[in-house]
Structure 1
Amino acid sequence: MVNFCCLWFTMFCFLLHYAYNAKGSPPPKVPAMFVFGDSLVDNGNNNDLNSFAKANYYPYGIDFRGPTGRFSNGETVIDLLAKLLGVPSPPPFANPATSGSRILGGVNYASAAGGILDESGQHFGDRFPLSRQVINFENSLSQLRTMMSGRDLNQYLSRSIAIMVLGSNDYINNYFLPFLYTTSYNYNASEFANLLLNHYARQLVALYSVGLRKFLLVGIGPLGCIPNQLATSKHDPGRCVDNVNQMLGFFNQGLVKLVDYMNNGTHPGSIFVYGNVYGAIGDILNNPSKYGMSNSHTSI
Structure 2
Amino acid sequence: MANMSMFCFWQLLLLLVIGMAFNIGSGQEGGENPFGPDGGRRVREMVPAMFVFGDSLIDNGNNNDLPSFAKANYFPYGIDFNGGPTGRFSNGYTMVDEIASLLGLPLIPAYSEASGDDVLHGVNYASAAAGILDITGRNFVGRIPFDQQIRNFQSTLDQITDNLGAIDAAQALAKCIFFVGMGSNDYLNNYLMPNYQTKNQYNAQQYADLLVQQYTRQLRTLYNLGARKFVIAGLGRMGCIPSILAQSTQGICSEEVNQLVLPFNTNVKAMLNSLNSNLPGARFIYIDIAHLFEDLITNSRTYGLSVVNRGCCGIGRNRGQITCLPFQTPCPNRDQYVFWDAFHPTEKVNIIMARKAFNGDTSVVYPMNIQQLATIDIEPN
TM superposition score normalised by structure 1:
0.86
Separation (CA, whole Å) in 2 of partners of 1:34 and 1:238? 37
Contact kept, 8 Å, 2:245 with 2:251, in 1: the verdict is no
Deviation at 1:203, TM superposition (A): 0.5
Contact kept, 8 Å, 2:45 with 2:103, in 1: the verdict is no
Higher gyration radius (CA): 2
The 5-angstrom pairing of residues 79-158 of structure 1 reads 79-95=97-113, 98-158=114-174
Name the residue aligned to 1:174. Answer: 190
Task: Indicate which of 228, 234, 237 corresponds to 2:243.
Answer: 228
One-letter amino acid matched to 2:288 = N
Contact kept, 8 Å, 2:49 with 2:105, in 1: the verdict is yes
Contact kept, 8 Å, 1:100 with 1:143, in 2: the verdict is no
Residues 166-223 of structure 1 show CA distances to partners (whole Å, capped at 9, x for unaligned) of 100000101011x210100000000001111011110100000010001011001111
Deviation at 1:238, TM superposition (A): 5.3
Deviation at 1:87, TM superposition (A): 1.7
Q: Are 2:205 and 1:190 equivalent residues in the alignment?
A: yes
SS in structure 2 of the partner of residue 159 of structure 1: coil
Separation (CA, whole Å) in 2 of partners of 1:151 and 1:103? 20
One-letter amino acid matched to 1:115 = G
Residues 87-116 of structure 1 show CA distances to partners (whole Å, capped at 9, x for unaligned) of 222111112xx1343222100000000010
One-letter amino acid matched to 1:128 = I
Q: Are 2:69 and 1:52 equivalent residues in the alignment?
A: yes
The 5-angstrom pairing of residues 195-274 of structure 1 reads 195-232=210-247, 234=248, 237=250, 239-264=252-277, 266-274=278-286
SS in structure 2 of the partner of residue 163 of structure 1: strand
SS in structure 1 of the partner of residue 286 of structure 2: strand
Separation (CA, whole Å) in 2 of partners of 1:226 and 1:45? 24
Aligned CA distance change for structure 1 residues 227 and 28 (closer, same or farther; 3 Å): closer
Q: Percent identity?
A: 48
Structure 2 stretches lacking a partner, 5+ long: 1-27, 29-43, 311-336, 340-381
One-letter amino acid matched to 2:109 = P
SS in structure 2 of the partner of residue 290 of structure 1: coil
Q: Are 2:297 and 1:285 equivalent residues in the alignment?
A: yes
TM superposition score normalised by structure 2:
0.68
Q: Are 2:52 and 1:39 equivalent residues in the alignment?
A: no
Structure 1 stretches lacking a partner, 5+ long: 1-19, 21-26
Which runs of at least 4 in structure 1 moved beyond 4 Å after TM superposition?
A: none
Q: Are 2:309 and 1:297 equivalent residues in the alignment?
A: yes
Deviation at 1:28, TM superposition (A): 8.6
Separation (CA, whole Å) in 2 of partners of 1:28 and 1:268? 25
Name the residue aligned to 2:19. Answer: none
Deviation at 1:79, TM superposition (A): 1.3
SS in structure 1 of the partner of residue 178 of structure 2: strand
Residues 140-173 of structure 1 show CA distances to partners (whole Å, capped at 9, x for unaligned) of 1111123323222111100101100110000010
Contact kept, 8 Å, 1:116 with 1:130, in 2: the verdict is yes
Name the residue aligned to 1:4. Answer: none
One-letter amino acid matched to 1:270 = A
One-letter amino acid matched to 2:308 = S
Name the residue aligned to 1:76. Answer: 94
Aligned CA distance change for structure 1 residues 246 and 80 (closer, same or farther; 3 Å): same
Deviation at 1:67, TM superposition (A): 0.5
Deviation at 1:290, TM superposition (A): 1.6
Q: Are 2:182 and 1:159 equivalent residues in the alignment?
A: no
Name the residue aligned to 1:24. Answer: none
Residues 60-100 of structure 1 show CA distances to partners (whole Å, capped at 9, x for unaligned) of 011112100011111111111111111222111112xx134
Separation (CA, whole Å) in 1 of partners of 2:300 and 2:147? 37
One-letter amino acid matched to 1:226 = I
SS in structure 2 of the partner of residue 217 of structure 1: strand
SS in structure 2 of the partner of residue 82 of structure 1: helix
Contact kept, 8 Å, 1:219 with 1:275, in 2: the verdict is yes
Name the residue aligned to 1:11. Answer: none
One-letter amino acid matched to 1:223 = M
Deviation at 1:268, TM superposition (A): 0.6
